[in-house]
Structure 1
Amino acid sequence: MANFPSLQNVFTATRNTIQRFPLETIATLAGSVFAIFLVSKEYGDPNTAFYTKAILSSLLCLVAFLSVSLYFSASRKGYMYRLLASFILGGLAIAFVYSFEDDISEVEAQQFVVLSIALHLLVAFAGFIPKKYHQEEFWEFNKQLFLRIITAGLYSNVLYAGLALAIVAVKELFDLELNEKIFGYLFIAIAGPFNTLFFLNGVPEIQNSKNTLALSYPVGLKKFTQYVLLPLISLYLIILLCYEAKIIFTLSLPIGWVSYLVLVFAIIGILSFLLVQPIATSAGNLWMQTFNRWFYYLLIPLLGLLFWAILYRIYSYGFTHERYYVLLLAVWLTLLVLYFLGSKNPKIKFIPMSLCFAGLFSLVGPQSAHNISKWSQMNRLTSYVQKLKTQKLTTAEEKNMSSIVDFILTNYAAEIVLPVAKDQLTALYSSQKKPTSTEILKALGVQYHMWNDNSSNYFNYAYPDSDSKYIDNIQGYDISMVVTQDAVINCKNCLNLNAKNYSFLTEKKDYGIDLTINNETIALLLNDFVNNQKQFDNTIEKQKKITQTIDSKNYQITIIYLEIDGKISDNKKTINNFRIKLLIKIK
């Protein structure tokens, strides 16, 4: 007869988990409550930024608190020390998140991900800092954590799918009106409290005499590594070594994205190395023995390729946040190779420890990714401004300068550009708080160019207010409508003005579209207009509204271009997609 866990056992396990991890539970509940608030609010709510940052803070605090709990559990120090350390780490995490702008930028999101990864890595070794290190115990602890994450994710997904289907069934079968946000609330309840408490319940105790961390190696893990990961590594290795041989014999430069392929190889290889570590020296595991012995030697030529690719990009275009992290990982991998090849008894905890410290190293201080990228691009901009004093820039240099200004305005305050060329920019900054790239470069006497290797083959335009301007003043006009390249308007007698019915029909043509109002067809010559207007060129930043006026027998039509893109061939533009607004005045 099957044995099912009683509610009493569930309550007991939940209570024990909460007692063992009280701060982690509070962080989980706080994040879940703020997530529910966020889901319940309407789009554009002024508190959205606050709720978003509260959720991100809760996520970081949860992981930070768990690291502290594992450390003090292993060290057996007083509970007050644990609380104090948790509050300090949690306060720093909250301050870090709330330093972000309300509209979190891509770089700030990147910083959050790096800190989150660093804190997760801290969980892997925090409990082994205050105690004597045992390799097998460390491996077993992290294996159990890894399997618990997978199990918690599986349970949570199945539970959510089942309950969501039950809600749909009740809604359809009993014809109930249910708020669609109920699915968001359900997801939060399962992904938050349920998933987290389920995971925390399975976190192994490091200093537990009753349940020691004895090595237990799953057979499935060996087969997964041997028959999936190792063949993948071999494939990547062959490709990369052949490519490296090619660029050496042809004396060519490596393409930029090869560095990402080397990093993927290294990550999969290190994961495989960690997975097979307990049995790598066992008899009968020839594949494992060979891989364990040669992996770090095979990394050496690929590290050369990685440094060659990333240093060339940095030399040519300076540091960005992405290039900084690629170089940082290259340095980290080099230290890893030196450590494992030079140490007689290497400890695998060096891998998460060193990567955790590398992540923290990149976040704060003058050596951080943010500051190094700023310093590098500002130096490049200064060199171009100095060169402008003696000679005119080439198109390639103007393109580089455009990308630098775009990068600075996207990731930093516009004010930092002013000191570089104070004489030329003072008037512009006096009239505008946030000048655009085009305006800054124009003040410096430089033409703006979009940074796109294929920009000469394509064009695109987007009116800045096209996504947010839903209410218009159409005084002087009678009708307003939005037309796209795919949506056909075909309505009969759908509008009544001054006791007269109006019908509308749009039809796509090679030259644009035909607009039929009642019995009159008006040709909207979009192609000719786009080809005659320089404002659609890629060399001009899109800021100004572009309008086109067409007169017919009974109507005056003003076309406002909201979005448009297409191809350029033989200096002729061909429209692919468009979205336009028509303002129609009846004569």
Structure 2
Amino acid sequence: MKLPSPGFLLQAFLSAVIRFPAAMLSAFAGVMAMQVIINDYNTPDEWVRTILVALIGVPFFTALIAFAESRDWSESRKWLVQVLGILALIAYGFVLDPTGSGFEYKQLPGYLALVLIAHLFVAVAPYLNNLSVRDFWEYNKILFANIVIGACFTFILNSGLSLAILAVDQLFDLKIDFKVYPRLAIFLAGIFNTAYFLYHFPNSFQFKQKENTIAVVFKNLCKYILIPIVGLYFLILYTYSLKILISWDLPRGWVSSLVIGFSVAGIFTYLLNFYLPELEKAKIIHLFKKWFWWILLPMTLLLFVAIGRRISDYGITEFRFLVAETGVWLALVCLYFIISKTDNIKFIPISLGLFALAYAFGPLSARSVSLRNQVGRLTESLKESGRFENGKMKPGTAAMSEASIEQFSAALSYLDYRKSLDVLDEFLPAPIDSLPIDTPKEFDWKTEKLRTWLNISDSTYTAERNYYFNISSYSRNKPIDIAGYNSFVKADTYERKDKSGENGLLISEDGQHFVRYVITDAGEVTDTIDLKPIISKWMELRNENYYLELKGENQLDTIKIRSGNMLMVTENCSIHIDKDGSKITSWNGYLFMK
């Protein structure tokens, strides 16, 4: 394996652009967006959306061309589907809101499912017809080899060029911006690696059967590395299963991850090994292909028992749903290969893509099922105390059992973290915000309002009345207008309890004031700065979050001191909130004085 020459790189680049224009356009857009973000992290959301869409676009448009070429579509038809695909991705980009509230629960699962499906589409696109399974295997073997080789070339180029830049910088004292290194890595990974892969993308989807260098490498990889590793997983899991039977103790939750990890490694090895028994007489290769699915099937039962225990105890969440759905898919694939006489390995990526769609979209998606389950657990926890009757919640005075309180709190926290408390409105006489109840300013949250309205005792959720609320600056690298101020001090109150030096800043015992002191020959001069208005402003801005990012003018506060006005510029702050109120525990930033 030798590095490609500059002439080859140019040829590969032009060839990739001509054959896969939309895929290369996606790569360009993603790289450009990453370069903008590296230059300034405080960039508009549109650049983040561009990156997210580009990560779908590259595999999606590659698969579209492969699909079109396998059916001998005309050039005009290829351009048409690519233009339609670009319009669809642009529209999807406008729907995405990566900085929106609850993005990781509301939109991220769907996005990740689309990324997975786009890559699976590349694997099967030319073979959604009657082309042979052997050609499908050869095609994916070539794709995998090109991914590995391209990644190696990219790593070598990036390492070599980075070292060259570093050497020039150090020898000639050029003071090159450190950002050049991530910029180079992004460019090589996004443009060079993509162009290399697309240049080597198969031009035909029917292959002559022969043992080539790649097949020999895969044969040795399976025979000496992958199959022994998978065998070790077998040994660990079956030994653990035997321990469960002997001790009659339910499996631990993390065993689900181990089963899934084993399954992924095993299926990957099975696919690589699928036709290798024809090239190799070693028994281990033949035995692995024959018995893999039979050995994997009992492990799916172990997975179901483990995740079933977690769901029974704590209800359904998106992750537990994913584990359970993965178990169903694994069981289905095992049964297919055990029962089927054709062993069509196309079944694996196609079925996985369908399960990914089911996980992320529709009424049976992970989010929909989890929300319904957690709402059911919440309302069920209120029934024994009479706080839920005839399909409606109502205030109550009866005591709740510890188990019911724990179940209620867990379900409520689940809904709160996912910004989905509005699903409870149908069980209430009015939306939570409109419930006729007053709560302390520090706890004027929907969860607090609902608890107070239901008359659930403070002692049932002490932890939620005792937490830290953190603040940081969004634009600490932006210029600040300090006209009229002639001096400043960098103040840091972290763990400052005692006076140190001739002047400084301390936080008062009540956490509501700064104590600014100056020690002179004539004695000590102190100035107390009232922070209550500023704390109130921050509490207004927090919007039911444990974290606040100050932007623009909200980062600046003008406060009165003995000698006039002082400008307070906050960089970081931590506020402790409990049943007695809120107080600052640490603060750092700048103080400008006239």
| TM-score interval, normalised by the smaller of the two chains | 0.7 to 0.9
2:366 & 2:547 partners in 1: Cα distance?
Answer: 35
Equivalent residue for 2:452, pick from 411, 417, 442: 442
2:264 & 2:50 partners in 1: Cα distance?
Answer: 32
Amino acid at match of 1:70: A
Asked if the contact 2:433–2:449 (Cα under 8 Å) also holds between the matched residues in 1, the reply is: no
Match of 2:169 in 1: 171
CA 1:75–1:214: 2 relative to 1, 3 Å: farther
- Is 1:348 the counterpart of 2:353? The answer is no
1:349 & 1:450 partners in 2: Cα distance?
Answer: 53
Amino acid at match of 1:74: S
Q: CA deviation at 1:469?
A: 11
Match of 1:266 in 2: 263
Equivalent residue for 2:53, pick from 53, 57, 63: 57
Instruction: Specify every segment of 5 or more residues in structure 2 that has no aligned partner in the other structure, as ranges.
Output: 388-397, 481-487, 508-515, 525-543, 549-571, 578-583
CA 1:100–1:411: 2 relative to 1, 3 Å: farther
Which stretch shifts more, 442-451 or 340-349?
Answer: 442-451
1:12 & 1:542 partners in 2: Cα distance?
Answer: 52
Q: CA deviation at 1:309?
A: 1.6
Equivalent residue for 1:284, pick from 281, 286, 290: 281
Match of 2:77 in 1: 81
Q: CA deviation at 1:349?
A: 1.5
Asked if the contact 2:493–2:588 (Cα under 8 Å) also holds between the matched residues in 1, the reply is: yes
2:357 & 2:574 partners in 1: Cα distance?
Answer: 44
2:24 & 2:490 partners in 1: Cα distance?
Answer: 54
CA 1:450–1:119: 2 relative to 1, 3 Å: farther
Match of 2:134 in 1: 136
1:375 & 1:417 partners in 2: Cα distance?
Answer: 10
Amino acid at match of 1:376: N
Matched ranges for 1:308-347 at <5 A: 308-347=305-344
SS in 1 for 2:456: coil
Asked if the contact 1:136–1:215 (Cα under 8 Å) also holds between the matched residues in 2, the reply is: no
Q: Deviations over 1:333-371 (max 9, x none)?
A: 111111101111211111111111211222221111221
Equivalent residue for 2:414, pick from 403, 407, 413: 407
- Is 1:220 the counterpart of 2:217? The answer is yes
Match of 1:256 in 2: 253
CA 1:84–1:504: 2 relative to 1, 3 Å: closer
Q: CA deviation at 1:429?
A: 8.6
CA 1:248–1:168: 2 relative to 1, 3 Å: same
Q: CA deviation at 1:408?
A: 1.4
Asked if the contact 2:494–2:588 (Cα under 8 Å) also holds between the matched residues in 1, the reply is: no
Q: CA deviation at 1:99?
A: 2.6
Match of 1:191 in 2: 189
Q: Deviations over 1:502-539 (max 9, x none)?
A: 37999xxxxxxxx9986999xxxxxxxxxxxxxxxxxx
Q: Deviations over 1:244-265 (max 9, x none)?
A: 2332333332221211111111
Match of 2:120 in 1: 121
- Percent identity for Structure 1 against Structure 2: 26
CA 1:213–1:309: 2 relative to 1, 3 Å: same
For the aligned residues, what is the CA RMSD? 4.1
1:429 & 1:268 partners in 2: Cα distance?
Answer: 56
2:240 & 2:255 partners in 1: Cα distance?
Answer: 9
CA 1:410–1:139: 2 relative to 1, 3 Å: same
1:74 & 1:434 partners in 2: Cα distance?
Answer: 60
What TM-score do the two structures reach when normalised by structure 1? 0.75
Asked if the contact 1:153–1:195 (Cα under 8 Å) also holds between the matched residues in 2, the reply is: yes
Asked if the contact 1:561–1:581 (Cα under 8 Å) also holds between the matched residues in 2, the reply is: yes
CA 1:328–1:449: 2 relative to 1, 3 Å: farther
Match of 1:475 in 2: none
1:153 & 1:516 partners in 2: Cα distance?
Answer: 59
Matched ranges for 1:422-441 at <5 A: 422=429, 425=432, 427-428=434-435, 435-441=445-451
Amino acid at match of 2:155: N
1:179 & 1:74 partners in 2: Cα distance?
Answer: 47
Q: CA deviation at 1:290?
A: 1.3
Match of 1:512 in 2: none
1:410 & 1:422 partners in 2: Cα distance?
Answer: 23
Asked if the contact 2:333–2:348 (Cα under 8 Å) also holds between the matched residues in 1, the reply is: yes
Asked if the contact 1:32–1:188 (Cα under 8 Å) also holds between the matched residues in 2, the reply is: yes
Asked if the contact 1:156–1:195 (Cα under 8 Å) also holds between the matched residues in 2, the reply is: yes
1:74 & 1:325 partners in 2: Cα distance?
Answer: 34
Which stretch shifts more, 141-150 or 385-394?
Answer: 385-394
1:435 & 1:262 partners in 2: Cα distance?
Answer: 40
2:120 & 2:407 partners in 1: Cα distance?
Answer: 38
- Is 1:562 the counterpart of 2:574? The answer is yes
Amino acid at match of 1:286: K
Q: CA deviation at 1:5?
A: 6.6
2:340 & 2:50 partners in 1: Cα distance?
Answer: 44
Q: CA deviation at 1:127?
A: 0.8
1:543 & 1:218 partners in 2: Cα distance?
Answer: 54
Asked if the contact 1:385–1:421 (Cα under 8 Å) also holds between the matched residues in 2, the reply is: no
Match of 1:200 in 2: 198
Amino acid at match of 2:421: A
2:55 & 2:284 partners in 1: Cα distance?
Answer: 40
Amino acid at match of 1:417: L
- Is 1:463 the counterpart of 2:469? The answer is yes
Match of 1:36 in 2: 35
Match of 1:528 in 2: none
Amino acid at match of 1:63: P
Match of 1:556 in 2: none
Asked if the contact 1:307–1:330 (Cα under 8 Å) also holds between the matched residues in 2, the reply is: yes
Q: Deviations over 1:202-246 (max 9, x none)?
A: 1112347xx757563533322322232222222222222222233
Match of 1:152 in 2: 150
Match of 2:23 in 1: 24
Aligned residues, how many? 505
1:582 & 1:8 partners in 2: Cα distance?
Answer: 55
Match of 1:245 in 2: 242
Amino acid at match of 2:145: L
CA 1:344–1:402: 2 relative to 1, 3 Å: same
Amino acid at match of 1:12: Q
Amino acid at match of 2:403: A
Q: CA deviation at 1:68?
A: 0.7
Match of 2:539 in 1: none
Amino acid at match of 2:48: T
2:118 & 2:459 partners in 1: Cα distance?
Answer: 41
SS in 2 for 1:280: helix
Matched ranges for 1:363-382 at <5 A: 363-382=360-379
CA 1:33–1:326: 2 relative to 1, 3 Å: same
Amino acid at match of 1:562: S
SS in 2 for 1:348: coil
2:460 & 2:204 partners in 1: Cα distance?
Answer: 56
Match of 2:423 in 1: 416
Which stretch shifts more, 142-151 or 391-400?
Answer: 391-400
1:124 & 1:328 partners in 2: Cα distance?
Answer: 22
SS in 1 for 2:64: helix
Q: Deviations over 1:265-324 (max 9, x none)?
A: 111111111111112355621011111111111122211111112223223322211111
Which stretch shifts more, 147-156 or 220-229?
Answer: 220-229
SS in 1 for 2:445: coil
Which stretch shifts more, 308-317 or 148-157?
Answer: 308-317
- Is 1:99 the counterpart of 2:95? The answer is yes
Amino acid at match of 1:502: N
SS in 1 for 2:193: helix
Amino acid at match of 2:455: G
1:54 & 1:231 partners in 2: Cα distance?
Answer: 42
CA 1:51–1:407: 2 relative to 1, 3 Å: same
1:166 & 1:490 partners in 2: Cα distance?
Answer: 50
Match of 1:574 in 2: none
Q: Deviations over 1:425-448 (max 9, x none)?
A: 453499899934344323322357
